[in-house]
Amino acid sequence: MHAQPESLPRMSPHDYLAFELEQLVRHELVDGYLYGMTGASDRHEEIALNLASALRTHLKGAPCRVYKGDLKIRVADEFYYPDVFVRCGAQRGDPYFKTDPIMIAEVLSPGTQRYDRGDKRFAYFQLPTLRDYLLIAQDQMLVEIYTPGDFRQCQRLQQPDDLLRLDSIGFSMSLAELYE
CA nearest 103: which of 141, 143, 142? 143
> Residue 47: beta bridge partners?
none
Q: For residue 87, list its beta bridge partners.
A: 65, 101
pLDDT at 7 (0 to 100): 58
Low-confidence ranges of the chain (pLDDT < 70): 1-8, 151
Question: What pLDDT was estimated at residue 1?
Answer: 39
Cα–Cα distance between 161 and 46 in angstroms, integer? 19
CATH superfamily for 40-178 is: tt1808, chain A (3.90.1570.10)
Whole-number Å distance between alpha carbons of 173 and 84: 15
What pTM, to 2 d.p., does this model score? 0.91
pLDDT, tens digit, 9 for 90 and up, residues 11-47: 999 999 999 999 988 999 999 999 888 888 999 999 9
Beta strands of the chain (E only): which ranges? 27-30, 33-36, 64-68, 72-75, 78-80, 84-88, 97-98, 101-108, 132-137, 143-146, 155-157, 163-166, 171-174
Delimit the domains of the chain by residue range. Answer: 40-178
